[in-house]
């Protein structure tokens, strides 16, 4: 049985979520609630939950403030938010669980099932800890990203990714160590996620970390030589954007 705490400032939303959990998540018991950062921290420290259902926006602070202040994190977090674009990039970097309001029962069940699997593997707080590290970090290249694999996931530093290549509905990640990893998401997903972290999609099949470009060779679109020795074609329609990035210092 998993213990849960709900931190949500709207009483009705709190009651609805608690009702959904009781009805559709029989392995989860709500042991405490809070309606602010302060009362949320109090409930977490008192009840020591396995799962924290956390509203992103609350009076006098937000969910990230709570995680910064709560101390040791030995629980996993499911973020509940009404804002479709609010902090979604940060949540996706860590593969954190989030549910958009109004709460979808299917999404709730899926998040709980994944967290149950994490607990079985003794990895309960990993996503929340990676998220918190990234929030505290400065340079986006210093962030960590959780990459889902077919049998689990792996945590890597963004700066260690040299380039990504489309592989049907998967993406092949290439690293500075010259190792390769096939990830269970599309290249388009990572184009959107890493676009503000110094990555550029220079070809329909290639997303590159501009910090690892060693050489550009002119041509119709040209070619990039990367730090791992790979040579990547640049689409003619991406050439101007690439040149502009380097002219601006990326």
Per-residue pLDDT of 6-44, as tens digits, reads: 999 999 999 999 999 999 999 999 999 999 999 999 999
Percent of the chain with pLDDT over 90: 64
Torsion of CA 82, 86, 92, 97, to 10 degrees: -30
CA separation for the pair 47, 42 (Å, rounded): 9
Predicted local confidence at residue 143, as pLDDT: 87
Burial (CB count <10 Å: 0-12, 13-18, 19+), residue 127: buried
The tokens for 240 are: 């101007």
Judge contact between 123 and 114, C-beta under 8 A.
Answer: no
CA separation for the pair 126, 110 (Å, rounded): 17
| pLDDT-derived band at 87, boundaries 50, 70, 90 | low
Q: What is the chain's mean pLDDT, rounded?
A: 90
Judge contact between 214 and 207, C-beta under 8 A.
Answer: no
- For the stretch 124-164, pLDDT in tens is 677 888 888 877 765 677 788 989 887 777 889 999 999 99
Q: Does the structure show a pLDDT above 90 at 202?
A: yes
HSE-CB for 103 with a 13 A CA cutoff: 25
Q: Does the structure show a pLDDT above 60 at 62?
A: yes
Q: Peptide bond before 180: cis, by omega within 30 degrees of 0?
A: no
Predicted local confidence at residue 141, as pLDDT: 74
Pure H helices in the chain? 11-24, 37-47, 63-69, 88-93, 105-120, 126-136, 187-194, 239-247
Interacting residues of 128 by C-beta distance below 8 A, sequence separation 6+ = 52, 67, 73, 75, 76, 77, 94, 96
pTM: 0.71
Predicted local confidence at residue 31, as pLDDT: 98
Domains of the chain: 2-135 (3.40.50.2300), 150-247 (2.40.50.1020)
Give CA angle at 181 (176, 184), nearest 5°. Answer: 135
Name, of 81-95, 128-142, 210-224, the range with top average pLDDT.
210-224
DSSP lists the bridge partners of residue 187 as: none
CA separation for the pair 184, 187 (Å, rounded): 10
| Mean local confidence (pLDDT), 76-102 | 77
Interacting residues of 132 by C-beta distance below 8 A, sequence separation 6+ = 64, 67, 68, 73
Q: Does the structure show a pLDDT above 70 at 86?
A: no
């Amino acid at each position: 049985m998993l213990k849960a705490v709900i931190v949500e400032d709207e009483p009705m939303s709190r009651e609805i979520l608690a009702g959904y959990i009781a009805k559709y998540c029989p392995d989860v018991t709500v042991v405490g609630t809070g309606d602010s950062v302060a009362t949320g921290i109090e409930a977490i420290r008192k009840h020591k939950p396995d799962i924290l259902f956390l509203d992103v926006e609350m009076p006098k602070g937000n969910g990230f403030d709570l995680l910064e202040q709560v101390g040791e994190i030995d629980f996993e977090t499911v973020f509940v938010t009404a804002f479709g674009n609010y902090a979604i990039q940060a949540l996706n970097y860590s593969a954190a669980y989030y549910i958009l309001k109004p709460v979808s029962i299917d999404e709730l069940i899926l998040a709980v099932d994944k967290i149950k699997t994490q607990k079985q593997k003794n990895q309960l707080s990993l996503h929340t800890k990676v998220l918190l590290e990234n929030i505290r970090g400065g340079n986006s290249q210093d962030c960590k990203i959780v990459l889902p694999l077919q049998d689990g996931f792996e945590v890597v530093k963004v700066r260690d990714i040299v380039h990504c290549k489309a592989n049907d509905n998967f993406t092949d990640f290439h690293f500075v160590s010259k190792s390769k990893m096939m990830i269970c998401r599309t290249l388009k997903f990572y184009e959107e996620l890493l676009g503000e972290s110094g990555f550029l999609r220079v070809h329909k099949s290639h997303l590159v970390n501009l910090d690892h470009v060693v050489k550009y060779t002119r041509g119709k679109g040209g070619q990039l030589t990367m730090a791992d020795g790979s040579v990547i074609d640049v689409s003619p329609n991406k050439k101007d954007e690439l040149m502009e990035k380097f002219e601006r210092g990326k």
